Amino acid sequence: MNSPLSPTANDVRKLDDVQLRQFLIRLVEAELRLAGRPLAGVTAGGDQNAADGGLDLRVTSDGAGLDFLPAFPVGIQVKAELMSPGKVEAEIRLNGRDRQSIADLAAAGGTYVIASGRDSCSHEMQERRLERMRAAVQTLDHADRLTLDFYDADRLSRWASRHPGVSAWLLEVAGRPARGWSGWEAWSSPNAPSGQAYLEDATARAHFEVQGEGCNAQQAIVKTRALLAEPRKAVRLVGLSGMGKTRFAEALFDERIGTGCLSPALAVYADIGAALEVSPSSMAGELVDRRVRTVLIVDNCPAEEHRRLQKIIDRVGSQVSLLTIDFDIADGRLPETTTLRFDPAGDAMIAKLLVQRHPELSGSDSQRIVLFAGGNSRIALVLAGTAQGETLAALDDEQLLDRLFLTQRRQPDETLHKVAEAAALVSAIVVDPPEELTILASLARVEVEEFYAKLRDLQDRGLAQQRGKQRAILPHALAARLAERALTRAMPGVIEERLVHRAPERLRDSFLKRLGLLHKNQAAVAIAGSLLAPGQMYAVDRSSGTEAWDGLANLAPLQPRRALELVAAVIKTADPVDVTFKWLLRDKAAKLLVALGYEPDLFDGVIDAMIELSSLQLGANHGSIRRYAATYFQVVVSGTMAAPSDRFAKLRALLGSPNPVDRDFGLEALVATLQVRPKGQELLPTFGARPRSQGWIPADNEECRAWFKEAIDLATSLEPTLAEQVMPQVADALEEMAKTLIAGDLAVSAFYAIAAETFWRDGWFAVSRAVRSIRRGKGQLSDDLMRLEEDMRPRSDEDEYAAWIEGKEQKWREPYSDEVADYLQFDERQRSFGRALTARREARLKFVGRAIGDRAHNARELGQGLALGASDLEAGWAELLDATRSTSPDAQNVSVLIGYLERAAQRDLARAKAWLADASSDRTLRPWVVSLEAAVAPIGVDGAERILASLEAGEARTETFSDLQYGARTHSIPNELLSRILCLLVRLPGGLAPAVDVLGMRFHDASEVALDESLLSAGLTVLAAVAAGSADGTVGGVGRSYSLETIVKHALHGEAAAATAAALLRWVLTKGPSLSGFEEDDVAAAILAVQPDAGLDAALEGYAPDDYFPRSWLLGGNDDDEPDDRRPIGAVAPEVLKAWVEHAPVVRAPFAARHVAYFVVVEDRLEWTQLALWLMTRSGAEAAVLAQFETRFHSGSFHGGIESRYRKRLALVERLVSSDNQAVREWAVATAARLRGAITNEQERERRSSEQF
């Protein structure tokens, strides 16, 4: 089955002379654009039948040749006729004479091509034509420099397939369009005169991201082009209907506008509202699989469809970028997508559009239409079309609205008007089946058939749109006016009764969605009040489900205070054990609260509700609810219009609350007030038609400074217990503030105030980072900031200890030097502190004792400094031993001793080794003997024997053995001795994980250290211990799985290891998937590679065809999109696997079919693997094998969409229809039919999903 945009030779053969030349021009221009070359060098002859010197198309370009334009300059002769070898020669030598145009190409070292739109040549036919071409040019000077080629219809069609826009044009001209899909053309107004200029709006009405700053049309075009110029990028245009979004999309490919124009040949466009032969997902999947550079544009695309498409075009290797268009901005941000929102057009823009489309309008009429349209181009154009010589300037809004419903005789069509009003009461109508039409027709007081006919009339007038079986009154501004009229005129209670209480769920939801946009209409507000009254269906409580919560979200814009009361009451009665209820609160309640918090009069209540909601511990997202609430306390992009005074008053109340939950949130909110580069609200919900922005913003710098001053006053006046909890975060926030011009001086004052003549480590680190950042950014360092950094430096030993021992090195940046890595400078500062202490015994005893008694901090470099500065190494070591012995074993921090030992060994190795010998008999040091020995690496025989003795005595701490894995520390330990250590270690609690680490690294270094049977035996012992489950939960992590894989590759060979291999694979299959970061598939592949029979037997145990997790998933059977080298069973050689299957084919053949790679990719198509063909024809269980393969067609990652997946598998199956094996043939015919049915079903499912408003 061909791809949706794959033209064939037959399509090319249908082109006439003129079309064929247009086709070649499009191909050449597309090829040049794809290579980033200018088009100025493309020239085409005049009339197709005119004398042209032998060339129809000339192409010049700087740079190397391209795939289909191999050497420049290029001359192409276009022929819509069969070109025999004789005709080819005659074309080159007209009447036996050389053509000057071809001679010029030869002299320039260029290319001459004959492009025949009728020929379809085999290889031999192609060669005969090329031979005659070569013979014909031999009389030319420089003939040897001329590249010759002959393009038949097949090569031309394959050339076109590289350029989707050209493919779409060719298919349409050839009478075989991909229905609903097109290349670049006037998508927004197909009937408008061609070549109309894009009317640029100078106002800033385009916003990148839903709440982003505005830019004008040309700026938006340039930025959008830059985004879509990169494959795998996605952009979404949103804005109300009639905002010019589709026209904007056209302009991206118009060379007359701005810079960085996208090639029109890249454009592939579809409107979901049209009947699409190929779904957007399938089209995207095909283009991605073919790796064709494309800009895919999907109009009227719902958010869910956009998400599907974005996942498809984001596949590795994809050359597709995506642009979707929709009127619904309610979805806010979408993942991996840049959103571009359009506001209503400026009046000047609408006026220019009217002049362009309706030049007959008078100035006063045009001005009146502009005023009525409110920035909506569609309303303006529809209304302008009703003028027809009549004046509109004197009409009021109601009269202008009525003009939209005139008959052809210029008389009011009351029925049409009533139908429009009734239809506008809902966001969309399903017309088939007619249940919804019947209800709305009763409200309009017309028959169903007439209602349907009038809907068609509204579509023809441009006042309604269609998506599949749905219809909607659009633009939104018109729909809102009509709905308000309908509500105002209706008898009280009638609309509520018919569209809520007696309506089917979909129509009810559609009505509520429309109602939520009418908060200024009193009738709408009254209906919302009725539906939210106590006991009514949308007055949510603990028993309410998704429908009630969604209804509340729609009604909340009309009754925001009542909505807050309901949500707050539910939160107070919450049952956090109820999983469904937790999800509703986390998803529905949180989003609604974020929207309500925008309103100043609801701010306090929303904060209280969100604090209480976050305290319920609703799972992974409960912390994000606090972040949403904290965002309200930012200076900008807060998402609320509450005044600063109200927000700070609330913050003071929270910080002074007796409730610790309130105080904790108050501290988080306080940090938010200090942020100078805050993040915006993550949810960004729309709220009916109520205006929404980023929230309150300072009017000027003074208001901004006033905000930060109040925030700083709060931070500097915190009571000590609260200050202690939040000062590190305050320091980070002040760091950023210190780098600003607006509030930098305020930050400096805050640092001084908080430090208050004491050493504030976090503050000094923050100031140092700020200085470093400004200096590296080539900014201007202020004298105040430099003086602050100097004033905040440590002044005493206590300060130095707080900075370099208790401080975090990742927080440190050297303010005035970045030649050496910061962590190295931090380590050197710690060493320097240690070195300085060697001269002051009292201070040394104090701080060394403190460090040795504080296991929370690494003081290794402190020990190194003590050794480097010690005048008497022996005395220094004795001092450290005394401090260690006087410290409780549970608190001992031996990193000080390790550091001392490392540098002492550099000064006096013999003395250090003597200390190690003594340590083995020292009760205090024996538990730490491994870490101490590792400090004086490499470890020799004596050291290894001391480690073994500590193990045998049960004194060594097992966690310290991980110190042996790096730095070649075990290279000097004899294999037999290391084996004894590891075999003993694996028996101890917590010993297996470090044993895996150490042995894995030793095997990793096998090229440097010889291995022997003793070490291989130890490897088998370690693997057996892992398989026994004694390390469950302790061998997770990528590094440790690599260590296991390495041990397997070295130690799991031979018959004696078969049982261990089987046990280990069982463990990997059952336990591996639950271990964090564990690469179980790599370990499984290693086992199957060295012990295929034992591994396969173990994998087969207890297997059932429907065994999806974890066994089949791990072995690769649930994802047949992965290449063979990524599935563990692929580690088994095909001949080995066949032999294994033949021993018990009834059971083993289906198992193999479930897991092996059954296809390879050849030039973007699937081909059966030889192993798969063997299984289905010679395994001894052919029927079961074929059933397994068909099952796998329906499982996997579904990259590219389900329909695309089925199409590829269908082509694979169709290759077996002519198989020599009857069973395979019959299976192929039946399976192909089922796949075609599945494709049809998927197309229908996607159509239903996407064809909704």
Please give the Cα distance from 222 to 201 (Å, whole number): 14
Element (H, E) at 1081: helix 1080-1090
SS3 call for 79:
strand
pLDDT at 1: 41
Please give the Cα distance from 847 to 879 (Å, whole number): 12
- Same-domain status, 1020 and 990: yes
- Same-domain status, 266 and 307: yes
Between the alpha carbon of residue 498 and those of residues 274, 447, 522, the distances in Å are 31, 16, 19
Q: Is residue 840 part of a domain?
A: no
pLDDT at 409: 64
Between the alpha carbon of residue 458 and those of residues 272, 273, 507, 518, the distances in Å are 19, 15, 20, 22
Among the residue ranges 317-326, 401-410, 611-620, 714-723, the one predicted with the least confidence is 611-620
Q: Is residue 236 part of a domain?
A: yes
Q: Decide if pLDDT at 514 tops 60.
A: yes
- Whether the CB-CB separation of 148 and 133 falls below 8 Å is answered with yes
Q: Is residue 1204 part of a domain?
A: yes
Q: Decide if pLDDT at 1116 tops 70.
A: no
pLDDT at 183: 87
Q: What would the mean pLDDT of 581-598 be, rounded to a whole number?
A: 85
- Same-domain status, 1163 and 1206: yes
pLDDT tens per residue, range 14-29:
999 999 999 999 999 9
SS3 call for 147:
strand
Between the alpha carbon of residue 65 and those of residues 32, 35, 42, 69, the distances in Å are 10, 10, 14, 6
Q: Decide if pLDDT at 496 tops 80.
A: yes
Residue where a domain terminates, one of 321, 343, 365: 343
- Whether the CB-CB separation of 1189 and 1180 falls below 8 Å is answered with no
Between the alpha carbon of residue 1107 and those of residues 1110, 1155, 1192, 1232, the distances in Å are 8, 11, 13, 25
- Same-domain status, 26 and 79: yes
State percent of the chain over pLDDT 70. Answer: 92
Q: Is residue 556 part of a domain?
A: yes
pLDDT at 1073: 64
User: Domain span at residue 63?
Assistant: 9-165
Q: Decide if pLDDT at 1110 tops 60.
A: no
- In 1050-1164, DSSP assigns E strands to 1159-1162
Q: What would the mean pLDDT of 1095-1122 be, rounded to a whole number?
A: 66
Q: Is residue 1179 part of a domain?
A: yes
- Same-domain status, 509 and 535: no
pLDDT at 223: 94
- Whether the CB-CB separation of 553 and 593 falls below 8 Å is answered with no
Query: What confidence tier does 1109 reach under pLDDT thresholds 50, 70, 90?
Result: very low
Q: Decide if pLDDT at 779 tops 90.
A: no
Residue 224 belongs to a domain with what CATH number? 3.40.50
- Same-domain status, 553 and 670: yes
- Same-domain status, 1021 and 1036: yes
> How many C-beta atoms surround the C-beta of residue 1248 within 10 A?
11
For the record, the structure tokens of 654 come out as 């929270």
Better-predicted residue by pLDDT, 375 or 116: 116
Please give the Cα distance from 1109 to 1115 (Å, whole number): 10
pLDDT tens per residue, range 789-825:
999 999 999 999 999 999 999 999 999 987 788 999 9
Residue where a domain terminates, one of 676, 697, 718: 697
Query: What confidence tier does 49 reach under pLDDT thresholds 50, 70, 90?
Result: very low
Q: Report CA Rg, the chain.
A: 38
pLDDT at 212: 55
Q: What would the mean pLDDT of 1173-1182 be, rounded to a whole number?
A: 94
Query: What confidence tier does 684 reach under pLDDT thresholds 50, 70, 90?
Result: low
Please give the Cα distance from 323 to 298 (Å, whole number): 6
SS3 call for 1106:
coil
Q: Decide if pLDDT at 50 tops 50.
A: no
Number of independent structural domains in the chain = 8
- Whether the CB-CB separation of 124 and 161 falls below 8 Å is answered with no
DSSP code per residue over 807-827: S-GGG---SS--SS-HHHHHH
The residue among 911, 913, 910 whose CA lies nearest residue 939 is 913
Q: Decide if pLDDT at 742 tops 50.
A: yes
Please give the Cα distance from 1229 to 1218 (Å, whole number): 9
- Whether the CB-CB separation of 997 and 962 falls below 8 Å is answered with yes
DSSP 464: E
For the record, the structure tokens of 405 come out as 């419903």
- Same-domain status, 755 and 679: no
Residue type, 1121: D
pLDDT at 622: 47
Element (H, E) at 995: helix 992-1004
DSSP code per residue over 1119-1134: -TTS-GGGSGGGGS-H
Q: What would the mean pLDDT of 168-185 be, rounded to a whole number?
A: 86
pLDDT tens per residue, range 931-947:
999 999 889 999 999 99
Please give the Cα distance from 516 to 592 (Å, whole number): 13
Please give the Cα distance from 133 to 77 (Å, whole number): 13
- Same-domain status, 1113 and 1244: yes
- Whether the CB-CB separation of 851 and 805 falls below 8 Å is answered with yes
Among the residue ranges 284-293, 517-526, 551-560, the one predicted with the least confidence is 284-293
Which residues are CB-neighbours of 1217 under 8 A, at least 6 positions away? 1225, 1228, 1229, 1232
> How many C-beta atoms surround the C-beta of residue 33 within 10 A?
20
Q: Is residue 98 part of a domain?
A: yes
Q: In the block, which residue shows the tokens 């480097």? A: 868
Q: In the block, which residue shows the tokens 């290894």? A: 944
Q: Is residue 452 part of a domain?
A: yes
- Same-domain status, 707 and 688: no
Between the alpha carbon of residue 214 and those of residues 328, 698, 820, 833, 837, the distances in Å are 19, 18, 43, 54, 60
Better-predicted residue by pLDDT, 492 or 529: 529
Maximum CA extent, the chain: 113
Which residues are CB-neighbours of 1231 under 8 A, at least 6 positions away? 1186, 1190, 1193, 1213
DSSP 1074: G
Residue where a domain terminates, one of 771, 793, 815: 793
Length of the chain: 1253
pLDDT tens per residue, range 973-989:
999 999 999 999 999 98
pLDDT tens per residue, range 945-974:
999 999 999 999 998 998 998 878 899 999
Please provide the average confidence, as pLDDT, over all residues in the chain: 88
- Same-domain status, 534 and 661: yes
**Which of 285-289, 329-333, 733-737 has the largest mean confidence?**
733-737
Q: Is residue 809 part of a domain?
A: no
- Same-domain status, 306 and 361: no
pLDDT tens per residue, range 1196-1218:
665 656 877 888 899 999 999 99
pTM here is 0.75
State percent of the chain over pLDDT 90. Answer: 61
